[in-house]
Amino acid sequence: MELAAIEDLVREGGARVSRRAFVDNDVYELELARVFARCWLYLGHDSQLREPGDYFTAYMGEDPIIVTRGDDGVISALLNSCQHRGMRVCRSDSGNSRYFRCPYHGWSYNENGKLVGIPRLKTGYFDELDRENLGLVRVPRITNYKGMIWANWDPEAPTFEEYLGGMKVYLDLMLDRIPGGLEAVEGVHKWTIDGNWKFAADNFVGDMYHVPVTHGSAHSIGLRQAWSDLGYQINPGNGHGFGGEYGGLSAAENETSYTPYIKQIRAHLAEQNGDYINKIVPLGHMTIFPNFSALDTLRFRTFRVWNPVGPEKMQVHAWAIFDKALPDEIKQSIRQQYIFTFGPSGVFEQEDGENWSQSTRSTRGWIARQYDLNYSMGAGHEEPVEKVLGSNLPGQMGGIWSEINQRGFYLRWQQLLKADSWNTIREEEKALGADK
């Protein structure tokens, strides 16, 4: 794509986004190469790999991945595509195995991706096959950040912590809440939505505006009280963002057995860190650029990844997540709340999915594509987080309805599409820093 065409996709500081961003194949191809093959992507939680030989399957962009734990305890990410004819060598979602035997002609790979078995090696290949170089393709960079497994194809990419940037201090408020870390409920929910993946990521990065309308039914069936105008959206930079009502998403809802527990933890954290904790813990809705999102509420917590499947389809992977040290009955409550509200059968999830598929469908037409989408809410009313919440907190913030985070998300997306490498982005950022 021409540079001018990419510049045209996101304009006015992120307040206008071309609909081509959601339906155009050229944009999509560039996105696979310059966003998904370059950014840190969430694969799953290390509680899904308890024993040596445990594995699960995931995606990085459209590339299928096997994530394994070797005998040495080391976690690897391997391209789930045979070096012979491309067949998916691992067909299950998860399990325990020392090797993966390709179902097509039987090449076998061990849990580190090494090619260890070839039928007819002598009578077919005359023992001449270059086995050493025909292992499964390895994802070169992988990190376990406080139990979260992230991977990146690009050797030039920043470290995961640099990539998080200002988001790190906020994410840590979710990951370090109590000793013992987090755990994923066994099993991953997977379903497809006929919609562009960015509609989901942009909803989770900063869209409280849809909640009273799209999820109005939650109010009408008594699941929660009416929404107030008090809350925040925080844009810590690098395309990430989170926000919600002050005091936690669903602050006004009926309590569950988890609610007093999380409030107690929050009071403890506030003593250590300052009063701002009472406003922003639990963290509400969030997206870590590009396609990891989470909800951290007073009733439950979920992680999810929006995997692209072409411009107009996504496959969602979703987990219910809790603190490992919780008593079993509270874990049970979190699981039930998650299933009732989110996950494929959740009332909120179905309402969101309908919006994202219809936004995509009604954007595809030639005429519709000529008109930009509008992300202008709250533009010009951002303030430094430390000015509002103190404590040297990083980033900029707006009120609960502000679209500040979506603007940050699309500007970062455009920056990646434009740049030919991470080094270009580093130079750009250095130049900007020097200007200040």
Residues that bind ligand FES (CB under 6 A): 82, 84-85, 87, 102, 104-107
CB of 416 to Fe ion, least distance (A): 26
DSSP H or E run through 15 = none
Nearer to Fe ion, 406 or 415 (CB): 406
Nearer to ligand FES, 106 or 187 (CB): 106
84 binds, among ligand FES, Fe ion, none (CB under 5 to 8 A by kind): ligand FES
Nearer to ligand FES, 64 or 165 (CB): 64
Residue 317: HSE in the Cβ half-sphere, 13 Å Cα cutoff = 24
What's phi and psi for 113, nearest 5 deg? 90, 0
CB of 86 to ligand FES, least distance (A): 6
82 binds, among ligand FES, Fe ion, none (CB under 5 to 8 A by kind): ligand FES
CB of 320 to Fe ion, least distance (A): 17
Question: Side chain identity at 422, as an amino acid letter?
Answer: W
DSSP string covering 292-351: EEEEE-SS-EEEEEEEESSTT-EEEEEEEEEETTS-HHHHHHHHHHHHHHSSTT-HHHHH
CB of 83 to ligand FES, least distance (A): 7
Nearer to ligand FES, 5 or 134 (CB): 134
Give the list of residues 6+ apart from residue 253 with CB closer than 8 angstroms, or none.
223, 224, 225, 298, 299
Give ∠ CA 10-420-6 in degrees, rounded to 5: 20
Nearer to ligand FES, 82 or 164 (CB): 82
364 binds, among ligand FES, Fe ion, none (CB under 5 to 8 A by kind): none
Q: From CA 234, how far away is CA 166, in angstroms rounded?
A: 10
SS3 52: coil
Q: From CA 38, how far away is CA 35, in angstroms rounded?
A: 5
Give the list of residues 6+ apart from residue 8 with CB closer than 8 angstroms, or none.
18
104 binds, among ligand FES, Fe ion, none (CB under 5 to 8 A by kind): ligand FES
CB of 285 to Fe ion, least distance (A): 8
410 binds, among ligand FES, Fe ion, none (CB under 5 to 8 A by kind): none
87 binds, among Fe ion, ligand FES, none (CB under 5 to 8 A by kind): ligand FES
CB of 352 to Fe ion, least distance (A): 4
Nearer to Fe ion, 31 or 352 (CB): 352
Nearer to Fe ion, 46 or 352 (CB): 352
DSSP string covering 164-213: HTTHHHHHHHHHTSSTT-EEEPSS-EEEEESS-HHHHHHHHHH--TTHHH
CB of 356 to Fe ion, least distance (A): 10
352 binds, among ligand FES, Fe ion, none (CB under 5 to 8 A by kind): Fe ion
CB of 107 to ligand FES, least distance (A): 4
426 binds, among ligand FES, Fe ion, none (CB under 5 to 8 A by kind): none
Measured from the Cβ of residue 92, the count of other Cβ atoms closer than 10 Å reads 11
CB of 85 to Fe ion, least distance (A): 42
Give ∠ CA 304-413-57 in degrees, rounded to 5: 35
Residue nearest to Fe ion (CB): 352
What does the CA dihedral 60, 145, 99, 104 come to, rounded to 10 degrees? Answer: 0
Site size for Fe ion, by CB under 5 A? 1
296 binds Fe ion (CB under 5 A): no
Nearer to Fe ion, 107 or 199 (CB): 199
Q: From CA 100, how far away is CA 91, in angstroms rounded?
A: 9
Judge whether 159 and 238 are in contact, CB under 8 Å: no
CB of 78 to ligand FES, least distance (A): 14
Q: From CA 58, how far away is CA 151, in angstroms rounded?
A: 11
Nearer to ligand FES, 107 or 306 (CB): 107
Binding mask 323-362 for Fe ion (x = CB under 5 A): -----------------------------x----------
Q: From CA 43, how far away is CA 142, in angstroms rounded?
A: 10
Q: How far is CA 250 from each of CA 152, 206, 208, 285, rounded to the nearest angstrom?
A: 34, 15, 12, 11
CB of 286 to Fe ion, least distance (A): 13
Nearer to ligand FES, 82 or 251 (CB): 82
Q: From CA 353, how far away is CA 359, in angstroms rounded?
A: 10
118 binds, among Fe ion, ligand FES, none (CB under 5 to 8 A by kind): none
102 binds, among Fe ion, ligand FES, none (CB under 5 to 8 A by kind): ligand FES
Q: Residue numbers of the site for Fe ion (CB under 5 A)?
A: 352
